[in-house]
Amino acid sequence: MTNNDKQISKLSSKSELESFLTKLAATAVVNTLGQRGRLIFSMDATASREPTWNHACHIQGQMFEETTALGGLDIQLCYYRGYGEFNSSAWLSRSDDLLSQMTSVHCLGGHTQIEKVLKHAIKETQQQKINALVFVGDCMEEDADKLFQLAGELGILGIPVFLFQEGNDLIAERSFRQIARLSNGAYCRFDAASAQQLKDLLSAVAVYAAGGRKALENYSKHKGEKVLQLIHQIKGR
């Protein structure tokens, strides 16, 4: 899909961010003490994704930094691009290693392959439990019913999918929201111009994957206004 097919995204509203973080905080604890969290970080690497890929390269280190005190986090990078190309890295425990993997990738035009991402997550957790799947993308060009079936399987396996949408493509939004619902995950739109916004959201999921709901609540106490508002909402309930 060309850039002309994309619509320029607007800033996510306060309510959208709060809704995402509230859903994240309400998700059941998935990790146990003494074990490192395991997070699959997947991205659309088709041509329109180049600017956001570059943003992610700069901010990925915080995902590791924020989880050190919780016992650490192992991250696997997955991406698709071009004509049917899908790749996954080894499990990485150092920010430098993840950065090296990401900076070696060049985005190529092609259609989405979200189905491969979801199938890969199922295969990985059958070998060793993973705690969360993150997906960053801007469109969906596949059979939605197949994606929803796989999302339901991930929900049964206890793997929430957290989807970050760049832009405001309505087909993608409807599909991403349903995948999040079926997997017991969450959905949020973000503005590609705001690296800090994406940084905070990715870090929040990383903290959750490493330490569960309580760790996320503690993390949120030291973050910005939007995250602090989340904590006040939780306490209010």
User: What is the residue extent of each domain of the chain?
Assistant: 41-212
Tell me: the pLDDT tens digits for 79-125?
A: 999 999 999 999 998 888 888 888 888 889 999 999 999 999 999 99
pLDDT of residue 15: 62
DSSP string, 196-208: HHHHHHHHHHHHH
Residue (of 150, 203, 158, 177) closest to 29 by Cα position? 158
Question: Is the pLDDT confidence value at 3 over 70?
Answer: no
pLDDT of residue 5: 37
The answer to whether the Cα torsion of 127, 133, 137, 138 is positive or negative is positive
How many angstroms separate the CA atoms of 186 and 204, rounded?
12
Residue (of 14, 13, 73) closest to 215 by Cα position? 73
Residue 81 · residue 110 · CB < 8 Å: yes
Residue 165 · residue 138 · CB < 8 Å: yes
Question: Is the pLDDT confidence value at 58 over 90?
Answer: no
Look up the CATH superfamily of 41-212.
von Willebrand factor, type A domain (3.40.50.410)
- What pTM was estimated for this model as a whole? 0.80
Which of 98-112, 142-156, 201-215 shows the lowest mean pLDDT across its residues?
201-215
Which amino acid would we find at residue 163? Answer: L
pLDDT of residue 16: 61
Query: For residue 222, what is the DSSP state?
Result: T
Region 125-138: mean pLDDT is 93
